[in-house]
Every structure is written in structure tokens, then in C-alpha cells.
Amino acid sequence: MDKLGMMKIKKGRNLILVEVGVVCAIALILILIMPVLLSDFRLNLLGRFLSLAIVALGIDLIWGYAGLLSLGHGIFFGLGGYAIAMYLKLQVPMGELPDFMALYGVVELPGFWRPFSSFPLSMAAVVMIPGLLAGLLGYLVFRNRIKGVYFSILTQAAIIVFFNFFNGQQQFFNGTNGLIDFTTFPPLSWGINGSGAIVSDSKTQFVFYVLTVIFLAAIYGLCRWLTSGRFGRLLIAIRDDESRVRFSGYDPTDFKVLVFAVSGAIAGIAGAFYTVQSGSVSPRSMDIGFSIEMVIWVAVGGRATLVGAVVGTLLVRMAQTFLSEQFPEVWVFFQGALFLIVVTVLPDGILGGIKRLLTHFGFRKTLITYPSIEEAPEVQLEKEELEHK
């Protein structure tokens, strides 16, 4: 390998080390400093926002890099939430059923509920159920080469099905009310008579908050790893021109199914963390509007950046909280104006706008690209040579 190649590798490694250091520093600030500055209520809100940032990372992975605009990611988010909620609802004395089941005449625990009495199986379900469902749905869709707006419509249709299913199952999932009133969390040792930590206790919520920060950093690292190498370049190639990827000998279906399954699993993890910190899960998490809002977070921050997904989620959710508290009657209009301003003034999101400013003032080099292969200078030269023959 020549000297120039070695210098590029060394520069790449240095950038990775810098990014790892920045992520670790931010995580330490969130864990060590923010709890001192914020009240328990505000810290809990921040924890929820960070859990939503996790699902935004998954959406940026498939939309920003693979060009798959999913408007139904609330399915996987909700399934992860229900998986952990079912485990928490089963923390009752032996022989008893979750409180809501008695209201609907259920006398025996349904068979599909029983595995959720195990903590390891429940944690596996948080990841595996959304991930496998996303992989199955992706396979059925992508093998038929359905993409673009048709894919988005299909994800919306799927979320309607799941929303109506969970909404109508009162005896199994408490219908519209969802699963609420969690009591203890046995994996943590403190609590009444050693039965487990009280879910609503500030100490327990702080543990959930810390775990959310750790998982957010880890999932960011996973997404960065997936998008920085050969796999990431293939995703971008599929996004920009899927036909050329297929003609190059790769099967785009396999890559799209895999990345969609990973994104679904990430959404399930986010749903679980949001559920334990909000104290409930309901079919509202599978509402179409909520799934569209997830896409808006990524668009505001800047797609295909990963960092933008996190920044956009935190900014939008914090703005919603502030506006709803200060202007409870008109805050929705402020929210709509914010989205319009971002779309019109910053079409590439906040990070995209910052990059353009840096390029304009000469702090970033402009990458020369061509919208079609026919406009590349080499192709033009070959074309002229052929015409003169």
C-alpha cells in the first residue's frame, strides 16, 4: 500500500477515535451532570426523549441511507413496549392474573402471555419480535420490488391493522387503555421485602434513564458501523439507483430486508425504554400520526447523518413540551410553523444547513458528483472518441 493510502487509513482511524470520544463525553454529561441540573420530572422527560431518539436512529438508517420511507414504524415501537409491559404486568402473586383481565372474565392466563413471566425471554422478545416481524414484512414487500410511495403506503396499511387489533383486544391487552399501573421490577433488588424495585421510584427511573443513555450511544455506534463501510456504501447505492446495484451483481432485496429488520429491532428497544419511563403502553403508540412524527424528527435534524436524528428528536420534543406548557391553547400552531420553516428554509435539515454553511465559507470541500453517469467527464470523452471513429 502506498503512502497516500496509509495516510487516508490513519486519518480515518483518527476521526473514528474523535467521534467515539465525543459520544462518550456526551453520554457522561447526560449521566453525571444532567441529573444534578434537572428535577426528577424533567429528567424523566429527557429519558423519554432519548428513548425516542433511538427509534429515530433506526428510521434514519433505513430512510436516510437506504431510501426506505417507513410511515409505520410505530408497529415495532409499540411491540417492544408491549413486550416489556407484559412482563411487568405479570409481577403479581402466583396464581393471580393481571388486574384488567378479571374485568373481562378471563379466568386463566393466555398461553402467549406465559413466556413473558421470564425476564430473559421478555428482553429477547423486545428485540426479536419487532425485528423478525420487520424482516418478514420487508421480505414480502421487497421481493416483489415494491418501493417508493407504494412501500410507504403499505407500511401505513400495516400499522392500521395492528392499531385496530390491539385496540380491539380488551381481554388480552386492555384495549384502548393499554397496559398501565406497573408495580415492581424484580431484576433490581431494592423494594418492599426484596420483591424488586418499585417502577415509579425515582431511583428505579434513574436506572432506566442511565440504561437509555447507554443504549442510545451503543445503537448510534451500531448504526455508524453499518453505514461507514461497504454495507453502508451499498445502502446508499440502493437508495440512489437500485437498478445499477442489481446489474452489478448484488441482490438489493437481501440488504433491504436486513436493514429493515435491524431498524425494527431498534424501534422495539426504544419502545421498551419509553414504556418503563412513561409508565404505560397503548395502541396510541401505533397511531399513524405518531409514526409520521418520527419521520419529522429525522427530517428536522437532517437525514443520512445519524447525529441529525438524535438532534432533531430532542429539539422537536423539547419544543413541543415548552410550547404546550407556555401556550397550551395555540402550541399546535407553533409546532406547524416550526415544521414549515424547517422544510422551506432548511430542506436538508439542521445538520444539512450547517454543512452547506461550512461549505460556503470554505470550511468543507465540495464533493464533485454527477446526477447521471452520462455527465461524467470520462464517459463524455469515450463518447466523443466513438463518434469520431
Average pLDDT on 56-78 reads: 96
First to last CA, the chain: 39
Which of the four pLDDT bands, split at 50, 70 and 90, describes residue 164? very high
User: What is the predicted pLDDT for the residue at 120?
Assistant: 96
**CA dist., res. 42 & res. 44, Å (int):** 5
Which of the four pLDDT bands, split at 50, 70 and 90, describes residue 150? very high
209 in Cβ contact with 277 (< 8 Å): yes
**CA dist., res. 386 & res. 389, Å (int):** 5
Which of the four pLDDT bands, split at 50, 70 and 90, describes residue 338? confident
Q: pLDDT by residue (tens digit) across 88-100?
A: 999 988 888 998 9
Q: Which three cell numbers stand for residue 111?
A: 398461553
User: What is the predicted pLDDT for the residue at 370?
Assistant: 44
Average pLDDT on 71-84 reads: 97
Statement: the pTM of the whole predicted model exceeds 0.75? yes
64 in Cβ contact with 305 (< 8 Å): yes
Q: Which three cell numbers stand for residue 365?
A: 470541500
**CA dist., res. 222 & res. 210, Å (int):** 18
Residue 277's contacts (CB-CB under 8 Å, 6 or more residues apart) are: 44, 47, 48, 51, 205, 208, 209, 212
**pLDDT, averaged across the chain:** 88
Which one has a higher pLDDT value, 122 or 345?
A: 122
User: What is the predicted pLDDT for the residue at 103?
Assistant: 86
**CA dist., res. 18 & res. 286, Å (int):** 38
Q: pLDDT by residue (tens digit) across 288-327?
A: 989 999 999 999 999 999 999 999 999 999 988 888 888 8
> Measured between alpha carbons, how far is residue 224 from residues 125, 217, 260 in Å?
25, 10, 16
